Amino acid sequence: MEETTIDYIIVGAGIAGTSLALELHKRNQKLLIVDEFKKNTSSRVAAGMLSPIVPRNVQKTWKCFDIFPNVYDYYREWEDTLNEKFIYQIPGLQIHKNSSHTKNWRKRSRERGFDILLKDIPREENIYPLKMPFGGSLNLLSGRLDVQNFMNSAHLFLKSKGQIFKNEACNYNQVIEQPNYVNYQNYKAKGVIFCEGYGVRKNPWYSIIPLNPSSGDLFTYEIKDLDPSYIYKMKEWIIPLGGDKWLAGSTYHFENDDETIYNEDAEKMLKQFKEWVKQPIKIIDHKKGVRPTVHGRRPFLGSRKDHPRLFVYNGLGSKGSSLVSFFSPQYAEHLTEGIEIIEEVDINRLFTSGSEHTYQEN
């Protein structure tokens, strides 16, 4: 069979692989995209919630001002290109649980750097649609990416532009690395980029990445007479989808890769919501997927020094929808122009002495 020369092979078409494929296409790269397109991958059951705030200790998320509010412009540009709607900027209404919670959020909202992110809501204000005996805070730059619509429209666009898709699992035995190129089946490429999420645990070159499985449930609820102007959050959260439909979550089953749906998880979540959502709630849909969480919550990009043609893009976790807006353009520049990858996310930090350094958790 005649050999086809392309630029890069991308293994995995989740949020990381899809956004990187778009960025490489934008830079005139010819691609082969390999994925099994399973329905329950972490990207396909992702809520796509965007937030510059980590609720625990009320911290700014990592790379906060590199990502927010630029993330909305990033996806709006792709909306124009793909002729689809998938990005929504929606303020988040954080409902305080107790007086200590109120104190922590109020203190943060008055600190320098947080004033453009948070607005304190005194408990005396009754203009908001839920009772808040301890007040609340507005997360001003929160929002949602419709991840499935983004990926589906991106895949259709890439196919229409002649990019090649293979609906299959990657056969690692057929990845043959040469000094200046890689062979895979009948393709010859500059390199292979593994964007496999939790699937990387089976990868012979990058299974060293310290991923921990965390399964989680995602619900679609019907809730009538609730103002869709906000994302609502106490510990759990609900995101407006339009009409009376709401996306709800999230449960975390740490160190767990079980994708089985259990009625008791649905009942437990519903009970928690009913403590602060007074409108009747009806479950329309229940999904579950496994998130690839990383200790330290820093992704892994680049290639091993002993395998310079085999790249990785992994460890984005629950922040993937926002992180790719920052890292996918940079990664595409690295692959096409040789721009250096920042040390914090370089895969080679796993292969250096003293790599057991302290990670930040926000």
Are 283 and 248 in contact, with CB atoms under 8 Å apart? no
Residue 352 has a pLDDT of 73
Peptide bond into 69 cis (omega under 30): yes
Domain boundaries, the chain: 4-45+148-210+296-350, 89-143+212-292
CATH hierarchy code of domain 4-45+148-210+296-350 = 3.50.50.60
Q: What is the pTM for the complete model shown? A: 0.92
Which of the four pLDDT bands, split at 50, 70 and 90, describes residue 360? very low
Sign of CA dihedral 275, 44, 212, 330: negative
Q: If DSSP codes are grouped into helix, strand and coil, which group holds residue 163?
A: coil
**Distance from C-alpha of 136 to C-alpha of 234, rounded to nearest angstrom:** 9
Average confidence (pLDDT) over 107-117:
91
Average confidence (pLDDT) over 153-170:
97
Residue 231 has pLDDT above 50, yes or no: yes
Average confidence (pLDDT) over 235-250:
91
DSSP 243-307: TTEEEEE---EETB------HHHHHHHHHHHHTT--S-EEEEEEEEEEEEEETTS--EEEE-TT-
CATH fold for domain 89-143+212-292: D-Amino Acid Oxidase; Chain A, domain 2 (3.30.9)
**Distance from C-alpha of 248 to C-alpha of 45, rounded to nearest angstrom:** 12
At 75, which amino acid appears?
Y
Which of the four pLDDT bands, split at 50, 70 and 90, describes residue 355? very low
**Distance from C-alpha of 321 to C-alpha of 54, rounded to nearest angstrom:** 15
